Structure 1
């Protein structure tokens, strides 16, 4: 004798089993995309200056205001995002989905996905804040004095430094 097989009933009338997990996975993906975009869009800044300038006769002056034949050095700093943060966001998503596949029950899967959302948000926020604070702490005046070192806020951002003579014509 065979027993009749009852159709699988969903937790809510007319809804797919595991609907909550699928919705939470979608939330993780949306948060990851928004966080990645926000990080790459907001982690940009620039600052620059020249140690001196030009005088009224078309010549150059140094940072102390003394006349010089050589153009003063100009320094340009540029903050830009690093791909490591975006890669880390992607790894969090992949790790969370892997843990969901191994979850014992729906509650454990939802908890894993909620933690992934929190981790992505914290990572993006910390990366943006650390990058900008670090960039603002770079002493631009010291860079124009001649000897300097700049440490980037690795792995949260990258600071590019370029130096060139001040444009203009002497004499």
Structure 2
């Protein structure tokens, strides 16, 4: 920023607001990167196995059975809705500034609140996603129900017979 010699006001009117908007955009991009990088997890298991002689199957308790056990994997990833939510915070705060800000201080308060909302959404999404994948337990890949922590994260579930992989 270039300043005049008499005082420290910028030469471009509204430059401080532009810096605040740039900061808000950087916070949004960094939050999206953090979610894309750290909101990941998997849970994989099989509900039985193959007998030691390779001729039959075993249940999860180790009892022989004729029914082929199934295996599966649930993969946690960020939901596209959380990225839309972050974008809505940025666009909504800019719209609010254009409609309601009467001075720079009010605009800076809106930008500060939007940055705080981005941080809160990011931390809540990380916590909810991690708790969801850590508490995930599937005992039977043939019939299961998974709580998907929308709008923060989503599970991609894949199952297969034990002899396929």
Aligned with residue 105 of structure 2, among 107, 113, 128: 107
1:7-156 to 2 correspondence within 5 Å?
12=8, 15-59=11-55, 60-102=57-99, 103-141=101-139, 143-144=140-141, 146-156=142-152
Q: 1:66 to 1:98 in 2, by over 3 A?
A: same
CA distance in 2, matches of 1:68, 1:106: 73
Deviation at 1:10, TM superposition (A): 9.1
Q: 1:126 to 1:76 in 2, by over 3 A?
A: same
After the TM superposition, which parts of structure 1 deviate over 6 Å for at least 4 consecutive aligned residues?
none
**Which structure would you say has the larger Rg?**
1
Would you say how many aligned residue pairs link Structure 1 and Structure 2? 160
CA distance in 2, matches of 1:80, 1:150: 14
CA distance in 2, matches of 1:97, 1:13: 23
TM-score normalised according to structure 1 size: 0.83
Structure 1 unaligned segments of length 5 or more: list them.
Answer: 1-8
Aligned with residue 162 of structure 2, among 127, 143, 166: 166
Structure 2 unaligned segments of length 5 or more: list them.
Answer: none
Query: What RMSD over aligned residues (CA atoms) do the two structures have, in Å?
Result: 2.4
SS at match of 1:140: coil
TM-score normalised according to structure 2 size: 0.86
CA distance in 2, matches of 1:100, 1:130: 31
Q: 1:164 to 1:151 in 2, by over 3 A?
A: same
Contact 1:32 1:90 in 2 (8 A): yes
